[in-house]
Amino acid sequence: MKTLDECRVAIDALDNEMLELLNKRMSVVERVGEIKKETGGAIYRPEREKAIIERLYRLNEEQKGLLNKSAIEAIFLEIFAVARNLELPERIAYLGPEGSFTHQAAESRFGAMSDYLSLNSIASVFKTLESKRAKFAVVPIENSRDGIVGETLDLLAKSSVKIVAELYMPIHISFATKAQKLEDITKIYSKDKGFGQCREFLSEHGFVDVEQIPVESTAKAAILAAQDKNAAAICSHIAAKLYGVPTFFANIEDSVDNTTRFVILSDFKNAISGEDKTSILVRLKDAVEAGSLVHFLQDFDRENINLSKIESRPSRDKDGFGYWFYIDFYGHIDEKRIQEIVQKHAEEVTWLGSYVKGED
């Protein structure tokens, strides 16, 4: 191909081939949906999607293709999302409003075509899922700088819904305002975690004494800043653009590797994938006795099960427990070695979900 026109003709021909292949794929997907309706199988299979992406990446490496793994993942996650909507359209609840980081996380897995339900609190997201007004829900569970989202853990402790997937998303935060000068700003809106992730920026630019107003989400902060020319928002670039608030500074987060872990919730159990993580809630009967937690964890050590997280939380139970522990470990709840531990501590352990471990 020597000319631009020749390149365009070649691209058009390839696009035609891709469209034909995509339609063939979707016709198979329709049949998959029919089979799943008959058998009650889950539409969203994170372990299957990950296996496909890994296989295609290896094939791409063998063929010395130009696409990197991130590009392959972005393309095929959208194809998967379209396919799921053909199999069985599902509603996804998330911590809103539109433009929040949780909304972006949800779209990264369920695509632009899905039916999204924006809710103004994590508790509302759980309630909506439990009442089956949505099939899936997406909520934040921890941030690399600010730690655990306590509300999510507390709700998981008493909910019937399970974690079916996790994803890690880099968080880049913007400072948006309609003010002409920084000294005109009299108030700053953000989610409480947003202020915590930008302490250095706020100090460097003299905003420590400016009124900081916590709101439900960073997207809500952008909405409020759009209504007041003397206000600013600490929010995502997408939220600022969506609600018409100019971005004054970009990437104001203190940590360059600022990442939030999100979990996808639903009402089914994933199959074993071989690359799983499991979350449990542990209420130790003898929690007041010295060494009770150590004795519990020794069972994991003996089975060579690696823990990835342990977090203590104050208990709100009325049955005498003063605190409980949230634990993540590598493996699936249905593995024999793990079942033996869980059954040994059956009265102390609550299973919260087993899922393909995400890439952080």
Domain count, the chain: 4
Compute, in degrees rounded to 10, the torsion defined by CA atoms 23, 24, 25, 30.
Answer: 80
Q: What is the CATH number of the domain that holds 11?
A: 1.20.59.10
The answer to whether residues 144 and 110 belong to one domain is yes
Count CA atoms within 13 Å of residue 121 on its CB side: 6
What CATH number is associated with residue 324? 3.30.70.260
Q: Which residues of the chain have pLDDT under 70?
A: 40-43, 87-89, 285-291, 316-322
Given this model, what pLDDT does residue 175 score? 94
8 Å CB contact between 235 and 248 = no
Identify any residues that bridge with 142 across adjacent strands, giving them in sequence order. 148, 261
Are residues 62 and 113 located together in one domain of the fold?
Answer: no
- Res 345: pLDDT: 85
Q: Which pTM value belongs to this model?
A: 0.74
Q: What is the pLDDT of residues 291-347, one digit of tens each?
A: 677 878 888 888 889 999 998 877 765 555 567 889 999 999 999 999 998 888 888
Q: What is the pLDDT of residue 124?
A: 94
Determine the Cα–Cα distance for residues 331 and 334; give it in Å rounded to an integer.
Answer: 9
In a domain, residue 254? The reply is no
Range of the domain at 51: 4-87
pLDDT score at 226: 94
Give residue 167's pLDDT. Answer: 92
100 lies in some domain: yes
Same domain flag for 186 and 147: no
CA gap 210, 212 in Å, rounded? 6
Using a 10 angstrom Cβ sphere, with 0-12 exposed, 13-18 middle and 19 or more buried, the burial of residue 76 is: middle
Please state whether 44 falls in left (phi above 0), alpha (psi between -120 and 50) or beta: beta
Q: Quick check: is 52 in a domain?
A: yes
- pLDDT in the model for residue 196: 82
From 266, 297, 317, the end of a domain falls on 266
CATH number, residue 164: 3.40.190.10
Distance CA 157, CA 323 (A): 12
314 assigned to some structural domain: yes
Q: Are residues 37 and 77 in the same domain?
A: yes
Closest CA to 33 of 73, 102, 74, 88: 88
41, 35 Cβ separation under 8 angstroms: yes
266, 295, 325: which is the final residue of a domain? 266
